[in-house]
Structure 1
Amino acid sequence: MFAKISADANNRSARLAGIGLMLLGIFLFSFGDALGKFIVGTYSVGQLLFLRSIGSLILVSPLIWRYRAQFTNWQRPGLQVLRVVLSSAEVAAFFVAAIYLPLADIITYYLAAPIFATAGAAFFLGEHVGWRRWAAIAVGFCGVLIALQPSTQTISWPALIALGGSTSFAALMLVTRFLRDTPDIVLASSQFVGTLVLGGLIAPLGWVTPSFSHLGFFLLASCFSVGAGLSVNRSLILAPASVVVPYQYSMIIWAVIFGYVAFADVPAPHTLAGAGIIIGAGLYIFFRERSLARQEPVVVSPPG
């Protein structure tokens, strides 16, 4: 009996640690997104992607060296390349949109990515999606429309870019399902390399030589990106996804706070209403999948 009590206590501690690390990871991602929005106010998106990726690769280089044997056998190389392309496009879209839109608006569109992924799994992966989840998908899409307010007077290219980034993020999750056996360090470092290549290609356009002090901002962005990714991955090792994934929705709270404090952005009521609907639909879909005892979904790092 004492062994069972001890095991339950250890399991509870692991779950609490997993929740704490997920909340920490989301905070770091959100802070990094706010810092990236600040950087692209002066420097180009390509420059941010290029220099941040260099810093990230330097930071994870000890892990790359330690697990270098895992890089010798890439499964499904075509899908690996597609995943890198989708990841790079999603990050670029996020920061291009960040030049023009409040953080809360961008995050609202990205919160719909799991809903898009569920619909995409039905069409492209042949997964069965029952009427309840189709109804939740429809409700979530209505939330997107409420936040986007599509009309000839209100629609904007930055909003469409952010929505396109959300769609790329959803496709990234679908492709990652096919590559679930690929080691985490391979997935993470390949994303950094892809962003480095994309940033290197477009960085010369509008290059502004950063001062020595401003290089610290790029390095700090790299630290937040790597720290957030490691925290989220570790949380998923310590606790089931069904326990920790819902805490990713705390990202909208940080987006509102950082947007207001750093940029004096006040989210419009329709944005908050749309975010609430999207979160509700997303949580329903997630817990519905768990109730059907489906395999826990592969979770990739949040955007940005």
Structure 2
Amino acid sequence: MTVATAPFAHTSNAARTGVLFMLLGMLMFSLNDTMGKWLVSTYSVSQLMTIRSLAALVVLIPFFVKRGWRSLLIVDRPWLQGLRSLLFAFDASAFYFAVAYMPLADAMTYWLAAPIYVAAASPLLLGEKVGWRRWTAIIIGFLGVLIALEPSAESFSLPALIALAGSTAYAFALLLGRTLRATPDTTLIFWQLSGALIFSLAGVGVNPAGWAPMDLQALACLSLLGIVAMLAHLLVTRSLKLADAATVVPLQYTLLFWAVIFGWIFFGDTPRWTVILGSALIVASGLFIFFREQQLKRRKPLQPDPAMEAGHGEVTR
């Protein structure tokens, strides 16, 4: 009896650990976002992104050395790698710019819609077939974005437009990730962080006067931003290896919960009813698209995991 139940117990324990890692990962990403909103009130986005990227690269040096520098630099389709890195750099920069002027929950709502953008664009850019059920969910998701945006002359502010542009860049970066899925994670992270560093240094070069003086405490806080984001990324990656995607991917929507809580505690933000309604539609749409793809995956067991390919499971900040 013990022998028969041991594999099940092992699987069950791994799944529980995977759930815990995903929840911790989402909490750390939320802390990263909260710290970023606080720091960007003092330091420019370019300065924040420069220190953040350098710190993350330094922390990951042992992984890069183990992988070998040659395998990191000489890759297949380097132009696609560079474009993906540029899109992720713009995505992160746009997020930090947006949260400097809008509540965390508002900004997070736009970014949670990225998998919906991916599903909508995949038939056009990747030639994939999307059925009427998922198209219905996509339309509902876009309706949620419109409700959250609350279209009016006032709502189309620069921060809101940059948030939309950043979340769109994030979605296209995820699409590129689907074409580069054979590239090892370490290589993808190296190019992503290097791209962010180059992008932010270019911003510093355009406006060097925006570089604010830093003491050791400020440097530590800015560096911690990159370290927290990398630890969160590692937790999410490990979670997806320990547990089934259908179990842990929906937990990523706890990002919105933490955004509301931390926004209220640290910044006194109270979400508008339109943001609550819009985010509910976006979450419902995203979950339907994800579970529908899981259903299709079971019909084609040899296909790659749609959870990772549709953008679910890849959180980057």
Instruction: Give the TM-score band, short-chain normalised.
Output: over 0.9
Per the alignment, residue 174 of structure 1 pairs with 175
2-structure distance, mates of 1:157, 1:139: 25
Specify the code of the residue in structure 2 equivalent to 1:296.
Answer: D
- Go from structure 1 to structure 2 and tell me whether the alpha carbon gap of 1:142 and 1:88 turns closer, same or farther (over 3 Å shift): same
Post-superposition Cα deviations, 1:58-86, rounded to whole Å, max 9, x if no partner, equal 11111111111642541221211111111
1-structure distance, mates of 2:271, 2:4: 49
- Does residue 56 (structure 1) correspond to residue 71 (structure 2)? The answer is no
2-structure distance, mates of 1:157, 1:32: 23
Per the alignment, residue 263 of structure 2 pairs with 259
Q: Which moved more, 1:290-299 or 1:271-280?
A: 290-299
Specify the code of the residue in structure 2 equivalent to 1:98.
Answer: V
TM-score normalised to structure 1 length: 0.96
> Which of 238, 261, 279 matches 1:234?
238
Per the alignment, residue 301 of structure 1 pairs with 314
Unaligned runs of 5+ in 2: none
Per the alignment, residue 31 of structure 2 pairs with 31
2-structure distance, mates of 1:52, 1:271: 29
SS of equivalent to 1:292: helix
- Note the aligned Cα RMSD (angstroms): 1.4
1:6 is displaced (CA, Å) by 1.1
Per the alignment, residue 97 of structure 2 pairs with 96
1:220 is displaced (CA, Å) by 1.4
Post-superposition Cα deviations, 1:247-303, rounded to whole Å, max 9, x if no partner, equal 100000110111111111111111011111100010001001111126323246325
2-structure distance, mates of 1:267, 1:86: 28
Specify the code of the residue in structure 1 equivalent to 2:166.
Answer: G
- Does residue 134 (structure 1) correspond to residue 126 (structure 2)? The answer is no
SS of equivalent to 2:100: helix
Equivalent runs, 1:114-125 vs 2, <5 Å: 114-125=115-126
1:87 is displaced (CA, Å) by 0.7
SS of equivalent to 1:203: helix
2-structure distance, mates of 1:216, 1:262: 20
Per the alignment, residue 286 of structure 1 pairs with 290
- Go from structure 1 to structure 2 and tell me whether the alpha carbon gap of 1:52 and 1:72 turns closer, same or farther (over 3 Å shift): closer
Per the alignment, residue 146 of structure 1 pairs with 147
Number of matched pairs: 304
2:249/2:313 contact within 8 Å kept: no
- Go from structure 1 to structure 2 and tell me whether the alpha carbon gap of 1:99 and 1:252 turns closer, same or farther (over 3 Å shift): same
Specify the code of the residue in structure 2 equivalent to 1:220.
Answer: L
- Go from structure 1 to structure 2 and tell me whether the alpha carbon gap of 1:300 and 1:191 turns closer, same or farther (over 3 Å shift): farther
1:190 is displaced (CA, Å) by 1.3
Post-superposition Cα deviations, 1:82-105, rounded to whole Å, max 9, x if no partner, equal 111111110111111111111100
Post-superposition Cα deviations, 1:174-219, rounded to whole Å, max 9, x if no partner, equal 1101111111111112111111111111125211111221112112
- Does residue 20 (structure 1) correspond to residue 33 (structure 2)? The answer is no
2-structure distance, mates of 1:165, 1:300: 18
- Go from structure 1 to structure 2 and tell me whether the alpha carbon gap of 1:277 and 1:81 turns closer, same or farther (over 3 Å shift): same
2:233/2:316 contact within 8 Å kept: no
Per the alignment, residue 40 of structure 1 pairs with 40
TM-score normalised to structure 2 length: 0.92
SS of equivalent to 2:188: helix
2-structure distance, mates of 1:154, 1:208: 31
1-structure distance, mates of 2:41, 2:122: 37
SS of equivalent to 2:54: helix
- Go from structure 1 to structure 2 and tell me whether the alpha carbon gap of 1:303 and 1:157 turns closer, same or farther (over 3 Å shift): farther
Unaligned runs of 5+ in 1: none
1:155 is displaced (CA, Å) by 2.1
SS of equivalent to 1:21: helix
SS of equivalent to 1:100: coil
Q: Which moved more, 1:3-12 or 1:221-230?
A: 3-12
